[in-house]
Structure 1
């Protein structure tokens, strides 16, 4: 049984996992947050805020705090964190579990355009519409800053910072959202096209259903690949099973 589990968090799954680990006697859990959200919710166990200083810094922290297993439960697009976790756990010889919610899949009637990056998404937008609902978060806005003729409606948890498109309306909100709410938002802002990352999960999936009902095109940024030799599990019980801890 692991004695000290480091959870690289920030997602709903990371919060659920921390609570499940903390419920096991003899297991210490530390959740590590990047610090990009100013008011994170309460977490079970200990919490640390901020980066480690790359893979070497994470490996040093693992050794100094006698971590016996790492669970990477970060956002599917936190590519550098996952890479650092893979390198740090290889260097320290401890297990790494990657917890990733399943990605979204298009359904009948969907008009999806799959792209590899936000830069590629920006390249498609002028031919798809003039009013864009952007749900990729406040980071990466620079990819759209040159699109001065388009109007963007951005939804994010924190206020955006430049560089960003000059014609932008910011909506500060955190999911989950319902299909009626998303449909009303798309209509109110006269949205022509939706841009999203393939985050997966249910908290923000209603926008995809709303776009389908309204016949809107959706630009979906694909997830980055996992590091070589690293695979992922889809849910908290599967992560606990790899750690030899029963779900309670």
Structure 2
């Protein structure tokens, strides 16, 4: 009799978990919020900040062309704190949310010469310098330190998937034809990837550009790095 009650109790707990968690998982999949890669499996929405940001390691080097047809490299951000993302201009799903988040970050630190943003397209065949310039203007970009970058597709995909391990891929079955993570990388003045820890003391690695909590967290941590 007691064993039967235990089974009933366990079944009830599993049912409650399914009711709470499964709809959230389905919603993120339907919204195109795709996060892949061993490094990204550790990204947590539960974040803490004790004022000491973790140093993950040097950010990958890059050399690409911006919206003004100017060659931009990681060296152009030396001495600057910057946020980096992968996106594409025709993205119908998560990019509009990411755009809004990044504009908010730009506005908070606008006028600070030691802060910048890097937006790298994962659809370089469409997103030429001219297209990216029009896209930046439509978004309301006003910072001279915000560069929208394009270049060779293989180079960009290697940079995303092997360099930063921020997933990006082509998929004809999804809306828009491309998948990417929606995460933002934070790089300090010395070119190192930095982040806060989660509640278990593990580095979160990257910040969720789709959630208010993630955007608030990266804004707080940008301010910390600017003071270093």
Task: Please report the TM-score for the alignment, with normalisation by the length of structure 2.
Answer: 0.25
Task: Please report the TM-score for the alignment, with normalisation by the length of structure 1.
Answer: 0.24
Structure with the larger RCO, 1 or 2 (CA within 8 Å, 6+ apart)? 2
Q: Which has the higher helix share?
A: 2
